[in-house]
Amino acid sequence: MNEGPKIALFEPDIPQNTAAIVRTCACLGAKLEIIEPCGFFINDKRFKRVVMDYMNEEDIKFYKSSEEFFEHKQNKRIVLMTTKASLSYTKFKFDKKDTILFGRESAGVPEKIHKSVKDRLKIPMKNDKRSLNIASSVAIILAESFKQTNLI
């Protein structure tokens, strides 16, 4: 596996999206981190149907809480992807050691987390649209990060 950027999911709540992200990370060689609690169980049939045989729990790091996640990430750069950011991901210089954090599909991240992360980015969209599917967003950002850091 590449020693590249990590994708972190904050309390994911849609099993199919998380499974698609597991597959994307597995295929591109990215490490996945999941901040619990999840809104589903890993043995959920909707999760298993999408993840197929791409699930390797050794490639996924689970954190029991956001406090544990941030404690582990002290002195490491976290990049938050959020529709509330003003800076586009295309104007940002990714580093291969970044942890790229994505919020919960239904609610993003809590305001205290949003304010605590220095680097906040968005994927520009048409003005009348709210958000992309999180699995699509992860793929876009991971591809850009890998491109910038020469990992693909």
3-state class of 23 per DSSP? helix
Whether residue 152 has pLDDT greater than 60:
yes
pLDDT in tens, 5-20: 899 999 999 888 888 9
Helices (H), 31-74: 45-51, 66-72
Encoded amino acid at 43, one letter: N
- Looking at CATH, the fold of the domain delimited by 6-148 is given as Alpha/beta knot (3.40.1280)
pLDDT in tens, 35-80: 999 876 666 576 666 665 656 666 789 999 999 999 999 999 999 9
Q: How many CB atoms lie within 10 A of CB 111?
A: 9
pLDDT in tens, 128-145: 888 889 999 999 999 999
- The CA-atom distances, in angstroms, between 121 and each of 41, 61, 81, 94 are 29, 23, 5, 11
Q: Tell me how far apart the alpha carbons of residues 98 and 5 are, in angstroms, rounded to a whole number.
A: 5
Give the tokens for residue 38. Answer: 């999840």
- The CA-atom distances, in angstroms, between 32 and each of 62, 84, 115 are 9, 23, 23
* Paired strand residues for 6: 31, 99
Encoded amino acid at 22, one letter: V
pTM of the model: 0.89
Predicted local confidence at residue 117, as pLDDT: 96
Predicted local confidence at residue 15, as pLDDT: 85
Predicted local confidence at residue 129, as pLDDT: 81
pLDDT in tens, 85-126: 999 999 999 999 999 999 998 889 999 999 999 999 999 998
Whether residue 2 has pLDDT greater than 60:
no
Whether residue 81 has pLDDT greater than 60:
yes
Q: Tell me how far apart the alpha carbons of residues 135 and 139 are, in angstroms, rounded to a whole number.
A: 6
CA angle 76, 59, 121 (to 5 degrees): 40
